[in-house]
Amino acid sequence: MAPRSHGVTLEDIAQRVGITRAAASMALAGSSRISEKTKQAVRDVAAELGYVPNSVGRALRRQRAGAIALIVPNTSHHVFGHTYFMHVLTGVSTSANAHDAQVIVSTNADEAGGVSAYERIIRSGTADGVIVTSAAIDDANVEMLVASGLPVVLIGSFPYLPSAMSIGADDVAASTLVTEHLLTVHGRRRLMHVSGPLDHQTGIDRRQGFLAALADHGLGEDAWVVEGDMSEESGAAAVVAALDSGRPFDGVVFANDDMAFGGMQVLRTRGLVVPTDAAVVGFDDFGLARTTTPGITTIRVPAERMAREATDTLFAVLAGQQAGPLHRELPVELVTRGSCGCHVDMP
């Protein structure tokens, strides 16, 4: 690559003002050891030349990059192409802006050389800390990263990593809540659950919430759970298999909205009406659930807020203000729409 077009350095300013780099630096930093007259002169010249401190030189000297990384494991590829990620990015970006830091978005694409992207980005000094989202349970990299003592905050729940910092949502309670809704408000009794992948805590917790609700109603005996992968296709496939099995059901609790949408399409194709023949509920409310017909009753996951608070926490760690491990779970909200029978859409 060709070298970057040369910028204005402190040296340029110093020469113009007739002082040294060091003095110019102190002047711009507002040191009390520099005369007001010189400070003003330096500021004037800096403005005139359009001086912007070279962040690389500064980072080297200060031993911190002024940037944080947002890492998305490639294992959960569907996540990167998902609306969820936008919310996360917005939250991370908002917090980072408030802390004058850059955001580096990184996928865990290259695994060569035994050093994971997680480690590489931190050890290389490119970023001062990391936000990790949608990590699988068996992702050894996350464990390694947390164990290494580098500043990391995870988005999600990681009960098997007690020393990690994380901000999640109360998936279990939320899933119980939405299942209860079908049981209590709509009197459904034969529910199926299409779970997320069970190597993600989200998949486990949402299934757990479903099972807990059934148990509360004495329906725990023969709970019906099918594992999906959060994709629209897997939701559709689960419903196809359920219909073909002949086992009756009057409601389906999907672990996310994408699968719920896929399932609803199959139901419609088979001539079944949602919610009359089968009520449907989803999870996430990242956008899709609002736009389908009928709208999908779901749990609103505050992804942006989770990301923002995770990032705020990361900056607190970087500032030395956050000591021990910390896990927060943000409250979620039930959003009722047409798919459960609550609101009848327009004719």
Partner DNA sequence: ATGGAGTGCTTTATCGATTCAGCAACCGTC
Partner DNA sequence: GACGGTTGCTGAATCGATAAAGCACTCCAT
Minimum CB distance to a copy of itself smaller for 209 or for 263:
263
* x/- letters, 62..101, toward DNA (CB under 7 A): xx--------------------------------------
Neighbour tally for 232: CB within 10 Å = 20
In the set 29, 36, 52, 222, which binds a copy of itself (CB under 8 A)? 52
**What Å distances lie between residue 168 and 6, 11, 28, 134, 308, CA to CA?**
45, 48, 41, 11, 12
Q: Return the residue of 40, 44, 48, 56 that touches DNA, per CB under 7 A.
A: 56
Does 322 contact a copy of itself by CB under 8 A?
no
Task: Verify binding: residue 107, a copy of itself, rule CB under 8 A.
Answer: yes
The option from a copy of itself, DNA, none interacting with 34 (CB < 5 to 8 A, set by class) reads: DNA
Binding of DNA by 319 (CB under 7 A): no
CA distance 108 to 270: 40
Who's near 130: CB < 8 A, 6+ residues apart? 68, 69, 70, 71, 118, 121, 122, 145, 150, 151, 152, 153, 314
33 binds DNA (CB under 7 A): yes
User: What, of a copy of itself, DNA, none, does residue 221 touch, CB below 5 to 8 Å by kind?
Assistant: none
Residue 320 contacts which entry, a copy of itself, DNA, none (Cβ below 5-8 A, type-dependent): a copy of itself
Q: What is the CA angle 262-268-269, rounded to 5? A: 90
User: Least distance (Å) from DNA to the CB of residue 18?
Assistant: 7
Q: By CB under 8 A, how many residues form the interface with a copy of itself? A: 66
Instruction: State the minimum distance, in angstroms, from the CB of residue 159 to a copy of itself.
Output: 26
Task: Compose the 106-125 pattern: x for residues touching DNA by CB under 7 A, - for all others.
Answer: -------------------x
Q: Which does 292 bind (CB under 5 to 8 A by kind): DNA, a copy of itself, none?
A: a copy of itself
DSSP string, 217-259: TT--TT-EEEE--SSHHHHHHHHHHHHHHT---SEEEESSHHH
110 makes contact with a copy of itself (CB under 8 A): yes
The structure tokens listed for 144 are 């390694």
Between CA 64 and CA 102 the distance in angstroms is: 12
**Residue 22 burial (10 A CB sphere; 0-12, 13-18, 19+):** exposed
User: Contact, 209 vs 171, CB < 8 A?
Assistant: yes
From the list 11-19, 74-82, 135-143, 306-314, the region that binds DNA by CB under 7 A is 11-19
Q: Is 109 in the site for a copy of itself (CB under 8 A)?
A: yes
For 254, counting Cβ atoms within 10 Å of its Cβ (0-12 exposed, 13-18 middle, 19+ buried), the class is: buried
Q: Are 42 and 13 in contact (CB under 8 A)?
A: yes
CB 342 within 8 A of CB 297: yes
Q: How far is CA 333 from the centre of its chain?
A: 17
- Exactly one of 15, 38, 102, 208 binds a copy of itself (CB under 8 A); that residue is 102
What is d(CA 230, CA 236) in angstroms, rounded to the nearest whole number? 11
How far is Cα 182 from Cα 160, in angstroms, rounded to an integer? 31
- In the complex, which residues of this chain contact a copy of itself (CB under 8 A)? 1-5, 7-8, 47, 50, 52-57, 59-60, 62-65, 67, 80-83, 85-86, 89-90, 93, 97, 102-107, 109-110, 114-115, 119-121, 123-126, 128, 149-150, 261, 268-269, 271, 287-288, 291-293, 318-320, 346-347
- In the complex, which residues of this chain contact DNA (CB under 7 A)? 6-7, 9-11, 18-23, 25-26, 28-29, 32-35, 37-38, 51, 53-54, 56-58, 60-63, 125
